[in-house]
Structure 1
Amino acid sequence: MASTTHSGMKTIGLVGGMSWESSAVYYRDLNLGVRKRLGGLASPRLVMSTVDFAELTELEDAERWDQVGALLAEAGRSVERGGADFLLLCTTTFHKVADQVQAAVDIPLLHLADVVADACAQAGVARVAFIGTTVAMSDGFFTDRMAGHGFEVLVPPASEHDWLNSAIYEELVHGHVLDRTRRRVVELIHQLWDAGAEGVLLGCTELELLIHQADVDLPVFPCTTLHVEAALDRALS
């Protein structure tokens, strides 16, 4: 059988397990993306290290972020030892410790917020809504980085954070996609639109299982999909 090799392809490093549903989306979409771009039997060069989500969420709940960072830094080092040329964290929330992970490795980390900022700039929007976990919405690690690129970021009122967080952790990470949750999130997106948002960032991989462009009139920026496309651009450049 004749085959075409792509020896110039860079190896993508993935730190996953936050949740495995999220990691599965990254793995699937990276493979589909290479097949779409290169055809034939082409598939990406990947090294993945996954962590125990239960351990990480316990540390998160206890706000022991230094230990979260240490665990993800070690996962990043193992991916680097496996031959990765650059690194992705297959998560939004745990980008809170992205700087700690980057400091632990000698390969570049492709930061999700930088990728999303590029996409928003190309789309010509200046003010965007961001929905995700409570940590991602209330802590500045993502929105501040977006602001550093010149974007104004709106998040839902604090009164909405708990139910949205519960929908992510109690439904979506288990693969449960419920119509009632979709309706409520769409309603929330429309409120943010009324508040002046010109687009909405789906700031959690699992939210892309729930919300699609067809559900809302506001431009949707699916962060994981954008992260994957940017990784493919880098790997195949």
Structure 2
Amino acid sequence: MKTIGLIGGMSWDSTAVYYRLVNDGVRRRLGGLHSARCLIWSFDFAEIEQLQRADRWDDAAERMIDAARRLERGGADFVMICTNTMHRMAGDVQAAIDIPLLHIADPTAARIRADGLRRVGLLGTAFTMEQDFYRGRLTERHGLDVLVPDADDRRTVHRVIYEELVRGRVLPDSRRAYRAVIERLRRRGARAIILGCTEIMLLIGPDDSPVPLYDTTALHAEAAVTMSLGQTFPDEG
């Protein structure tokens, strides 16, 4: 079994879900008392959020690289960034280490394509929805047609993530707001919705959407289990 290196703490709530999912996945596949071999580097998210807000992405990249190198030195066979937004510097992280980085967008896109879908809506932080590092990979590498909410809806989605979900607050009004955003994306032609922030699954589930939801946290963790047990996750791009 390969050792998984998790770069977490962004937020710790979703990192805790990752930890549970990778251990559940190994136990489900191997049975008995088996659990995942993993290392976790967990950030103080307040520090990372300040760098994001100040547009200090180079400084954030340095911290992510340092975390990945620590995991590599600790014995990780591959690493994963347990958040969608910080995949903005995934290329820099991969270039700085000698072990693979499992990109969160790839298993998500592979599952969507395997299900025969192409046009999808994307929910996430403003950085994930508006910048090209994530949407571009889904489009250019995997051939997906990605829709994002309009400006007002993007502000709502982003605000709920940073003011509520990363603080452990799950509010019914916000669930209703997200349902409305999803419905508007469906009316524009989205045949599925990517939950492109690892906290959104704390708020939204299958009963909240008229189209299939693709939870990046669950799909990323599933792919990590596959890699840990000696199988390379298929590149569908």
The answer to whether TM tops 0.5 is: yes
Structure 1 CA distance for aligned equivalents of residues 104 and 187 of structure 2: 26
Within 5 Å, which residues of 2 pair with 1:181-220? Answer: 181-220=174-213
Q: Deviations over 1:69-109 (max 9, x none)?
A: 00000000000011111110000011111111111110010
**Equivalent in the alignment of 2:116:** 124
Q: Which amino acid aligns with 2:158?
A: N
Structure 2 CA distance for aligned equivalents of residues 174 and 109 of structure 1: 28
Answering whether residue 69 of structure 2 is matched by residue 77 of structure 1, we say: yes
Q: Which amino acid aligns with 1:210?
A: L
Structure 2 CA distance for aligned equivalents of residues 222 and 54 of structure 1: 24
Structure 1 CA distance for aligned equivalents of residues 167 and 45 of structure 2: 12
Answering whether residue 136 of structure 2 is matched by residue 144 of structure 1, we say: yes
TM-score, normalised with respect to structure 2: 0.94
Counterpart secondary structure, 2:164: helix
Answering whether residue 18 of structure 2 is matched by residue 17 of structure 1, we say: no
Counterpart secondary structure, 1:91: coil
Counterpart secondary structure, 1:128: strand
Q: Which amino acid aligns with 1:175?
A: G
**Equivalent in the alignment of 1:101:** 93
C-alpha RMSD of matched pairs (Å): 0.9
> Could you list the runs of 5+ residues in structure 1 that have no partner in the other structure?
1-8
**Equivalent in the alignment of 2:153:** 160
Structure 2 CA distance for aligned equivalents of residues 191 and 164 of structure 1: 13
Q: Which amino acid aligns with 1:139?
A: Q
| Deviation at residue 217 of structure 1 after TM alignment | 2.0
Structure 1 CA distance for aligned equivalents of residues 14 and 92 of structure 2: 21
Q: More deviation in 186-195 or 157-166? A: 157-166
**Equivalent in the alignment of 1:57:** 49
Q: Deviations over 1:120-153 (max 9, x none)?
A: 1111101100001111111111100000111110
Structure 2 CA distance for aligned equivalents of residues 76 and 51 of structure 1: 12
| Deviation at residue 41 of structure 1 after TM alignment | 1.0
Identity over aligned residues, as a percent?
48
**Equivalent in the alignment of 2:18:** 26
Counterpart secondary structure, 2:120: strand
| Deviation at residue 38 of structure 1 after TM alignment | 1.5
Answering whether residue 29 of structure 2 is matched by residue 37 of structure 1, we say: yes
